[in-house]
Amino acid sequence: MTEAVTPQTDAAAEKPQLTINIPEVVNLACNILHGGFLAKGDEHGKKLFKQLKDEEKLAAGSMTVGEQVTIKLTISLDRKEFRGQLGFPVFKASLQAMLQNLGQALQARQDLNFLTGDNGNILVHKPGVIEKGGDYNVLVLVLAPSQNKEMNLCLTFLDPDQYEPLRKAKEKKSTASDK
């Protein structure tokens, strides 16, 4: 007896899905970001920040998933929504605030409040919020896996106006300065 086998045309069915532990990846990302930009001092952090601004992606090592697949890690910076002048001191303050929020959530085993997109990206919503010169900026970590065994750790500035408390604080400061 012969059975007819219908091949699946769905691309997701052709490749096995990898399962990653998001808190573990976020913890690894925090360690990489802290080690690269903060732990080795400002001189090293500034140099790395300049490279990050100048290049599309920076190599950040690799991780092994399921003892069988090695995934290359990269770091990128999305600053389209940044307000003001982005220099190392502002970047460092934003990164420190974000890493502190992520670290506290990981240590307390709290929800990382992550959002997934249709493209597979995972926005970890434990933002670093800073204010400088009346402008608020919000930095989050986006984990962006790709088809070529790469995971990009994208440091992404979000539009602060989508956060009502920041809008109200800015309006309050604006009203106070008009008087």
H or E element: which one contains 64? Answer: strand 58-65
Six token digits for residue 78: 């999305």
* 1 in a structural domain: no
17 falls in which pLDDT band (50, 70, 90)? Answer: low
- Residue 33 CB neighbours (<10 A): 22
Tokens 């919000």 belong to which residue? 138
Residue 11 predicted with pLDDT over 70: no
pLDDT score recorded for residue 135: 87
- Residue 112 CB neighbours (<10 A): 17
pLDDT score recorded for residue 5: 31
Residue 8 predicted with pLDDT over 60: no
Q: Which of 14-28, 49-63, 68-82, 151-165 has the lowest mean pLDDT?
A: 14-28
Amino acid in the structure at residue 71? I
* 3 in a structural domain: no
Q: Which of 68-72, 146-150, 174-178 has the lowest mean pLDDT?
A: 174-178
* 4 in a structural domain: no
Residue 165 predicted with pLDDT over 80: no
21 falls in which pLDDT band (50, 70, 90)? Answer: confident
Residue 53 predicted with pLDDT over 70: yes
- Are the CB atoms for 155 and 37 separated by under 8 Å? no
* 112 in a structural domain: yes
* 92 in a structural domain: yes
**Structural domain of 62:** 19-178
Angle between helix 42-54 and 88-107 (nearest 10):
100
pLDDT score recorded for residue 1: 34
* 8 in a structural domain: no
pLDDT digits (tens, 9 = 90+) for 67-109: 778 899 999 999 999 999 999 999 999 999 999 999 999 999 9
Calculate Rg over the CA atoms of the chain. Answer: 20
* 12 in a structural domain: no
pLDDT score recorded for residue 9: 39
Share of the chain above pLDDT 90, in %: 59
Total of domains in the chain? 1
pLDDT score recorded for residue 178: 53
Compute the average pLDDT of residues 123-138.
92
Residue 7 predicted with pLDDT over 70: no
Amino acid in the structure at residue 19? T
Residue 2 predicted with pLDDT over 60: no
- The dihedral sign for the CA sequence 86, 92, 96, 98: positive
